[in-house]
Structure 1
Amino acid sequence: EMLQRAFHAIQKLMSENLILAGHDISDGGIITTFLEMAFAGNCGLRIRMDGPWNPLERLFAEELGAVIECHVSDVRNVLQILDSFHLPSTVIGETTEEKKILVTYHSQKVLESSMCVLREWWEETSYHIERLQMNSQCADEERKNIFDRKGPSYTIPFKPKPTPAYILEAKDKPEVAILREEGSNGDREMTSAFYQAGFSPWDITMTDLIRGRITLERFRGLITVGGFSYADVPESAKGWAAAIRFNERLRKMFDDFYHRSDTFSLGVCNGCQLFALLGWVPWLGIPDHQQPRFVQNLSGRFESRWVTVKILESPAIMFKSMTDSTLGVWVAHGEGRLHFPDPTLMDEVIIKKLVPVAFVDDEGRVDGKISQSYPFNPNGSPFGMTGLCTPDGRHLAMMPHPERAFLKWQWAWMPGYLNDGLKASPWIQMFQNAREWCDRVKAS
């Protein structure tokens, strides 16, 4: 019965935005709960406890309970709500910007240490396991870089806004094909993102195109989504690309779409790999042996992380007005490292500003040394490059998943001042940019 009351109390606190963080008390007792919250929050703690038990009994008892964090100004409201559900509660301390853990029991210090040192001890076993499972150099680099990391810093030089109702309710919306293959898994998020920007998204499979059920002629946009086409195998996008390149009718259909002046395209993750293998980015006509492509991550493993990227100056139509933004976004790929067989081609791509997005560190810096540092750069791409676009900006390929962050609640972490001040996720802007471009460039 108390567990039920606790559940409903937590739900009420969450619905009123009164909880900043929370953790159940289980294995290791309440002291483990404190430390795990500090490790994840990248902060320090000052804890004051007392009671009839000795410190070991109190701190390591695995009695059912929970620790929640709230703003100082909300403490009274939180305690009142917990009391209304007949749940015993007490204030036991506060978080601190100084990364130091101080726990007192009956005013006597029982633990005083650097949070960073304790976290490194906590990660020690995982670190040694990782050195056996992945590129050991990356494991060493991550251990060094996360020891005392500051946390991401975001910059948004524009004001994200929800798409106006009159656009969402319009009857003549531009149509986009959300193209998927066997093993694709990002189509629903992508469909939602384009729908929320005022498009009419169509769920299209490669089988639909191969069997002639539909063509690309009616669509303004072609979106190839992420996932694991042709199952979870190395370089799976090669099978997807082959289905197009070695089918004369499909190859012509895709070529015609690419060359139409009223179309745009976006390839994400597996779809990004596809665009490279089709030769769509950075431009058509590059010989296969020189064509940039996305290969196995330098870490040697699949990377699913919340990372920070910077939008760079480029002709990409979907990033109009977003230049110099530094944003959090999801990545989930095993083969995202951008490889240039011809180094001179990489130099040309950089000079022509055809790299619209790059990985950055917590300071938001983009340079060869910092942005290649793991795990800030999760795949080892040179200069943090994680996307390519064409010189006219209509065709864009990128490894990160903006469709998995186009709503604020999809963000793994967002500073409170941003969360309170933003009316919409910054990533919705790139989908709205595509819609505005379609409005300006009428269908041919």
Structure 2
Amino acid sequence: GIIVQVKDKKAFEKLMEEAGVGCAIIARPTDERHILVSKDGIQYHFGIDYMRDVWYESSYKLDVKQSGNVCAGNRFENYKMQPIEYKFHKDFTGKLSQYGLSADRREASGIKAAVIREKGTQCERETAYALYLAGFDVKDVHMTDLASGRETLEDVNFIVFCGGFSNSDVLGSAKGWAGGFLFNEKAKKAIDNYYAREDTLSMGICNGCQLMAELGLVYPEHEKKHKMVHNDSHKFESNFVSLEIPKNNSVMFGSLSGTKLGVWIAHGEGKFEFPYEEKEYNIIAKYNYDGYPANPNGSPWSVAGVCSKNGRHLAMMPHPERAIF
């Protein structure tokens, strides 16, 4: 069976009766944080917050063995204190037509984007569809295309390194993928030429963010490069979290400044390690809370994503392509 909450009880009962579906009233909503259960003339009172802690306790005890006392304790204390928050601009309608876009577009826009993938990456289809919805003509580019010279990226204006687990993360997150660029003459030439142009954009998502860090693509001017290291919990984290978009200089996130978004995260090495002070980085997204697990990896300043100083090349650990609807 299923539980549904309805506004018009009589209309719903009539609809169910016409469909031949049995239904019964079992509960009514309340503004208070408790559940009242009546049976055989006796009323039982259950505090929701207390019962959630009872339910969560077994997970907490297992988490202690996996993540240690500190992270497990923080998760147990914070899971009910870090609600998902959204904040949109007042003129946001949630419709593509607001931006002159249509999901039914069948004509080429003339602006090409490429999703670059490697063995073991994923999310390329969701990423391609998100780019299509944004108005790009999208093509799929595998590392073998770049390594063989079949693809040069010369006609592309936007590349996205998709998320996943390239080469199964055997050598560490994105290290093998980075080697595919660094130690193949044709692939390296293609990527070097692409970033030398001034009419290009790029984005790295999760594994792609780790790749951009390995290749030093976001801050080539920095003598010491930022790195992506293991989460503080020492385990893979998968969760739906809130992001705060601070005022920033970026083509992709600049117009989102001041908003809060909900996105998926899924990574084991998602902690940013910065050699310089915060002011040296163009931070485009922060986790909405400093504490774990809403900050799933322990990144300083709750950083979830960074962008180049010119606003064109962006790297982030969360997966926006998984949260576009």
TM-score bracket for this pair, using the shorter chain length: over 0.9
One of 191, 196, 201 as aligned partner of 1:254: 191
Say which SS state the counterpart of residue 264 (structure 2) adopts: strand
Cross-structure match for 2:55: 122
More helix by share: 1
C-alpha change, 1:126 and 1:234, in structure 2 (3 Å) is farther
- Letter aligned with residue 85 of structure 2: S
Kept after mapping to 2: 8 A contact 1:313/1:353: no
Provide the C-alpha distance between the structure 2 equivalents of 1:165 and 1:236, rounded to a whole number of angstroms.
35
Q: Deviations over 1:342-391 (max 9, x none)?
A: 2xx1x1xx325501000013xxxxxxxxx1x0111011101110111101
Asked if 1:138 is matched to 2:53, the reply is no
1:207 maps to: 144
Correspondences of 1:263-342 after superposition (within 5 Å): 263-281=200-218, 283-287=219-223, 290-340=224-274, 342=275
Residue 286 of structure 1, CA deviation: 3.0
Q: How does 1:271-420 map to 2 (within 5 A)?
A: 271-281=208-218, 283-287=219-223, 290-340=224-274, 342=275, 345=276, 347=277, 350-352=278-280, 354-361=282-289, 371=290, 373-407=291-325
Unaligned runs of 5+ in 1: 1-65, 362-370, 408-444
1:248 CA drift (Å): 3.2
The answer on 1:99 being equivalent to 2:30 is no
Deviation at 1:165, TM superposition (A): 5.2
Match in the other structure for 1:432: none
Question: What's the CA shift string for 1:210-234, capped at 9, x where partnerless?
Answer: 0111111110011100000001436
Contact 2:146 2:190 (C-alpha < 8 Å) held by counterparts: no
Q: State whether residues 244 and 251 of structure 1, in contact with CA within 8 Å, keep that contact through their aligned partners in structure 2.
A: yes
Partner of 1:151: 83
User: What's the RMSD between the two structures over aligned residues?
Assistant: 1.8
Structure 1 residue matching 2:234: 3-state secondary structure: coil
Does the Cα contact within 8 Å between 1:153 and 1:326 map onto a contact in 2?
yes
Aligned-pair identity (%): 37
Contact 2:149-2:187 within 8 A present in 1 as well: no
Question: How far apart are 1:150 and its partner, in Å?
Answer: 6.5
Distance apart, 1:310 and its partner CA: 0.8
- Given the alignment of the two structures, is residue 223 of structure 1 paired with residue 160 of structure 2, yes or no? yes
Q: How far apart are 1:145 and its partner, in Å?
A: 1.2
Distance of 1:277 and 1:254 partners within structure 2: 14
Secondary structure of 1:93's partner?
A: coil
CA contact 1:179–1:222 (8 Å) conserved in 2: yes
Question: Could you say which residue in structure 1 is the equivalent of 2:45?
Answer: 112
Show structure 2 runs of 5+ residues with no match.
none
User: Considering only CA atoms, is the larger Rg found in Structure 1 or Structure 2?
Assistant: 1
Deviation at 1:203, TM superposition (A): 0.5
Aligned AA (1:70) = Q
88-97 vs 326-335, which deviates more?
88-97
* Partner of residue 3, structure 2: 68
Matched, 1:177 2:129: no
| Whole-angstrom CA distance in 2 between matches of 1:165 and 1:222 | 20
Instruction: State how far apart, in whole Å, the 2-side matches of 1:125 and 1:322 are.
Output: 39
Q: CA deviation at 1:113?
A: 2.3
CA contact (8 A) 2:242 2:287 kept: yes
> Where do 4+ consecutive residues of structure 1 move more than 4 Å?
none
Report the Cα distance in structure 1 between the residues aligned to 2:213 and 2:116, rounded to whole angstroms.
16
Whole-angstrom distance in 2 between the partners of 1:116 and 1:89:
29
